[in-house]
């Protein structure tokens, strides 16, 4: 049953897109900024995981936690230095700044370590088991499990913690949140920290899954994760999760049908269709915007 195997592969890939998309959608939901540097935080997380395993000899889970912590700090630094001053600036100014930060990170990493790619070490055995006639690798199941746990943890933080309530309040009405005593700056920084930590986790998972990493690896997955966020409804957390999974499954089945050269194009075809037929995304609602 090859289609079951492809479905599992698609969900595993989609869970990586979903983790990156969550960062896009959380930041947009609070400050209406498309953080195009987010894909490069994902790249930095992948390299931190790589050096944690190869240089420091850490296992997968310690490397994952270290990468998440480092990327959370990195995300806060980016927000404080590049975006904080642009809170009241025009959308185009913030967008251009995000693209500039993205290029700065990419070529900063190339300057520090060179442009050569690296091969992730094999941290899991290649064992697999049979399920309904399909051979499913332990690696795919573990990657999917880690992604699901992180998504559940995010839902818990957003809905059950004080920080999560503050994030939802700021997302709904920033001025009213200030009047209620919420520290908006700290809440926005916390949002960047959480989103960047998830991107760091996605980077380590991606490295383990695909083996090859390089300083420009964040561009295409970053754009695809943005497509996933738009597909689910930008600014809506469950939408980013579903959008990422849908995109991963579609890509995998496009490849399985023999159109592997079109797998990247599939994401952009989906983006065009969603913008034409449902611009607000799967979970989004049409709202009027004052201009």
Summarize pLDDT for 44-67 with one digit per residue, the tens: 999 999 999 998 888 889 999 999
Q: Which of 213-227, 241-255, 270-284 has the lowest mean pLDDT?
A: 270-284
Question: Which pLDDT score is estimated for 258?
Answer: 79
Question: Which pLDDT score is estimated for 91?
Answer: 82
Is 249 a member of any domain? no
Taking only the tens place, the pLDDT of each residue in 152-197 is 899 899 888 898 899 889 888 888 888 888 888 899 999 999 999 9
Number of domains in the chain: 1
**Which run of H or E residues covers position 128?**
strand 128-131
| Helices (H), ranges, the chain | 2-31, 38-54, 60-78, 91-113, 138-160, 162-172, 174-179, 184-210, 219-232, 237-256, 263-277
Mean pLDDT within 260-283: 83
Taking only the tens place, the pLDDT of each residue in 77-117 is 999 998 888 887 888 888 899 999 999 999 999 999 888 99
Is 18 a member of any domain? yes
Residue 228 pLDDT > 60, yes or no?
yes
Is 112 a member of any domain? yes
Considering the chain, what is the average pLDDT of its residues?
86
Q: Which of 151-155, 195-199, 271-275, 287-291 has the lowest mean pLDDT?
A: 287-291
Is 184 a member of any domain? yes
Residue 291 pLDDT > 70, yes or no?
no
Residue 125 pLDDT > 70, yes or no?
no
- Percent of the chain predicted with pLDDT > 90: 30
Question: Which pLDDT score is estimated for 42?
Answer: 93
Is 235 a member of any domain? no
Q: Which of 9-13, 50-54, 286-290 has the highest mean pLDDT?
A: 50-54
Is 39 a member of any domain? yes
> Helix or strand or coil: residue 235?
coil
Mean pLDDT within 209-237: 87
Structural domain harbouring 83: 2-218
- C-alpha to C-alpha distance for 241 and 129, rounded to whole angstroms: 27
Residue 123 pLDDT > 80, yes or no?
no
Question: Which pLDDT score is estimated for 127?
Answer: 67
Query: Closest by alpha carbon to 14, among 254, 241, 191?
Result: 241
Question: Which pLDDT score is estimated for 129?
Answer: 66
Is 247 a member of any domain? no
Q: Which residue has the higher pLDDT, 39 or 134?
A: 39
- C-alpha to C-alpha distance for 100 and 27, rounded to whole angstroms: 17
Output 96-100 pairs: Cβ under 8 A, ≥24 positions apart. 98/33, 98/34, 98/35, 98/36, 98/37, 99/36
Mean pLDDT within 27-47: 89
Q: Do 217 and 119 touch, CB atoms closer than 8 A?
A: no
Mean pLDDT within 240-260: 86
Is 25 a member of any domain? yes
Question: Which pLDDT score is estimated for 290?
Answer: 47
Question: Which pLDDT score is estimated for 66?
Answer: 95
């Amino acid at each position: 049953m090859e289609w079951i195997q492809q479905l599992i592969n698609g969900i595993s890939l989609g869970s990586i897109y979903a983790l990156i998309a969550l960062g896009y959608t959380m930041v947009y939901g609070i400050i209406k900024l498309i953080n195009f540097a987010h894909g490069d935080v994902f790249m930095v997380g992948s390299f931190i995981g790589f050096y944690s395993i190869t240089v420091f000899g850490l296992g997968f889970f310690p490397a994952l936690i270290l990468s998440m912590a480092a990327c959370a700090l990195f995300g806060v630094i980016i927000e404080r230095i590049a975006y904080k001053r642009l809170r009241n600036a025009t959308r185009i100014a913030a967008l251009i700044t995000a693209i500039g930060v993205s290029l700065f990170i990419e070529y900063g990493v190339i300057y520090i370590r060179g442009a050569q790619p690296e091969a992730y070490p094999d941290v899991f055995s290649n064992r697999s088991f049979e399920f309904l006639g399909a051979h499913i690798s332990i690696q795919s199941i573990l990657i999917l499990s880690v992604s699901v746990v992180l998504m559940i943890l995010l839902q818990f933080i957003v809905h059950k913690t004080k920080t999560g309530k503050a994030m939802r309040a700021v997302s709904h009405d920033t001025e009213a949140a200030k009047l209620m005593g919420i520290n908006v700056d700290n809440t926005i920084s916390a949002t960047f920290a959480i989103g960047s930590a998830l991107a760091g986790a996605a980077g380590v998972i991606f490295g383990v899954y695909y083996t090859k990493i390089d300083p420009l690896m964040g561009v295409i997955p970053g754009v695809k994760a943005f497509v996933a966020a738009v597909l689910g409804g930008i600014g809506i957390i469950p939408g980013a999760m579903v959008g990422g999974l849908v995109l991963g499954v579609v890509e995998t089945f496009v490849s399985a049908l023999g159109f592997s050269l079109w797998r990247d194009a599939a994401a952009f075809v989906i983006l065009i269709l969603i913008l034409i037929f449902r611009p607000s995304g799967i979970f989004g609602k049409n709202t009027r915007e004052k201009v």
